[in-house]
Chain A
Amino acid sequence: MIPNTKVQIRNILMNNPVMPASGTFGIEMSNLVDFNKLGAMLPKSITFNPKEGNPPRRIMETPSGMLNAVGIQNKGIHHFLQHEIHEFEKFTSPLIISISGYSREEFIEMVKLLDAREGVDGIELNISCPNLAVGGESFGMDPVATYDILRAVRRYTDKAIIAKLTPNVGDITLIAKAAQEGGADSVSLINTVTAMAIDIRTRKPILGNITGGLSGPAIKPLAVRMVWEVANAVTIPVIGVGGIMNANDAIEFIIAGASAVQVGTANFVIPSIMEDIIQGIEKYMVDYNFGSIKELSGSIITGNSVNTCN
């Protein structure tokens, strides 16, 4: 029997649970991976106004991971809607647009524009950027700010809204619950882990921005733990992301409670990897006799004792 790998998040109907993570997918990849085979497409985050991005150096490799401080270099939402989005609309897979704002007003304006665009199926809110109105702490670090921003944008669209959560918080379940109460249809986690590196010869930070975000296999166990916690705390679908390099990693997130996964850094290493992951998940479902993603999602067997101290 062919397993049912379909996943639905509000109006987004995905043939399989695999989509790219924001910042790691672009039209340049269209001759390296078949966009029509993906669960969804998710281009790089856009902002309301154009952003120049951070000064170099922007990336560095770390053991089993990478640090980045790109700074969402993009030409702004108007340029994106006029000159870029149509390239993605040619493909059949659902299109999710990731947006990042520096104020409530910016988020609202962008959601209105995306709501009006037929080719857009869903909107991912990158709420890890600083909220300038409250002195730079990101929306996603505070449950009240998270609830407020979700409430604010929910009024302007019936399309699926996914809140992308930062791991740089004390209790991520509080943020996830706030996003759900504010009206999010799904939460995706984790965004990159704030990190830094120093050149000991010059004693200067290696990244131009001083700090950056850690991604890749190095953060996977942290991400699996957070997905498991959040999946137990909310009723909306959870999208697992963090260091997925192959199908086994993706399956681990789904067993922990994810309904779908995002593949990020791995796209830089093997541009066609998402196709392999889709096939690998299907094979696992056949081998282990799972009829649907719903059955597999959250099928972790923990027993009774969970010791909170290591």
Chain B
Amino acid sequence: MKDCLGTVISNEFLSDRYYLIRLKCDEIASTIKEGQFVLFRCSDGNDPLLRRPFSVYRYFPQSGEIEFAYLLKGRGTELMTRLKQGDKVEILGPLGNYFEIGESTTGIAVLGRGVGIASVAVLAEKAAKENLYSLAILSGRNPGSVIGKDFLTEAGCEVVGLNDEEGTSGIDGIRDILTDRIEKGLIQQIYSCGSNRMGKLVKDLSIKYNLDSYISFEEHMACGIGVCKGCTCMTKDGYKTVCHDGPVFGIGEVDL
């Protein structure tokens, strides 16, 4: 973990309220792992004061480049949308633990909802590139908020895009798809981010079918490195920090 200066390569509107920023930052691009995040300093001044956490969306160790997909939500992300090619940004990272795929695993599913897609997409891509079966169930409130479909399809994932507006994102539909793939023996692990409802579904299915599954949490953070204990979640061992003990937790460890 280091406090680094990144250089903006591009910063563009994706769809709905989503943006994609690409940075050159060798130190982070060469060390970050799937599911880890960085703290982004959005302003030089005191308002907004705190840095913002963003999960790695894609990374390219060869070129030293890294991408973050972000949701325009408040002052910090509003300032981020104004960054231009060549601008310098302070980023602290890589932070937190990461997703791992078991050695005997032949296939995985990732479930991402909204900006939570940004945390799990990179894992689906990695699995597909390693020739594992990789199912990406991506959900959002409207078609534009389901990001990542194109590059995951290209990487070889089976991509299922769902949204509330068209009434396709119901939890029963997701359960049916997952149950089908599990019973066909295609997936042994599920990774989820961005929805408590989906997290509960993953927990149910993981207990029923004995799957080794994980959930990644999103929380408001201050320090991002485990000092302030501001971003905790309840686990079977008491409160744990999302930034330092997480953001990835075993699905059986946490209260959902």
- Which residues on A are within 8 Å of B, measured CB to CB? 23-26, 28-29, 31-32, 44, 52-53, 56-61, 63-66, 68, 70, 73, 216-217, 245, 265, 267-272
Contacts and interface: CB of A to CB of B under 8 A. Distances in A.
B222 A268 contact: yes
B51 A269 contact: yes
B49 A70 contact: no
B231 A66 contact: no
Nearest to A71: B229
Interface residues of B, number: 31
A68 B229 CA distance: 10
B1 to A, nearest CB: 7
Interface string B212-225: 00000001111111
Given A28-B225, A29-B225, A269-B49, A73 B1 contact: no
Given A26-B227, A56-B233, A70-B230, A31 B47 contact: no
Contacts of A59: 220-222, 228, 230-231
Contacts of B219: 56
B222 A217 contact: no
A178 B51 CA distance: 39
B238 A52 contact: yes
Which 3 pairs of residues, A with B, have the shortest CB-CB distance? A59-B230, A26-B227, A64-B46
A68 B238 contact: no
Contact of A23 (B225, B228, B233): B228
B228 A68 contact: yes
Contact of B228 (A57, A60, A70): A70
Contacts of B233: 56
B50 interface: yes
Given A28-B244, A29-B225, A44-B227, A66 B50 contact: yes
B220 A60 contact: yes
A58 B50 contact: no
Contact of B3 (A52, A268, A270): A270
B41 interface: yes
B48 interface: yes
Interface string B193-235: 0000000000000000000000000011111111111111110
Given A68-B230, A245-B46, A271 B220 contact: no
Contact of A271 (B46, B49, B92, B234): B92
B46 A52 contact: no
A56 B232 contact: yes
B222 A68 contact: yes
A270 B233 CA distance: 25
A247 B228 CA distance: 23
A28 B90 CA distance: 19
Contacts of A44: 227, 229
Given A56-B232, A73-B232, A216-B46, A32 B3 contact: yes
A28 B239 CA distance: 18
Contact of A28 (B51, B226, B232): B226
Contacts of B224: 268
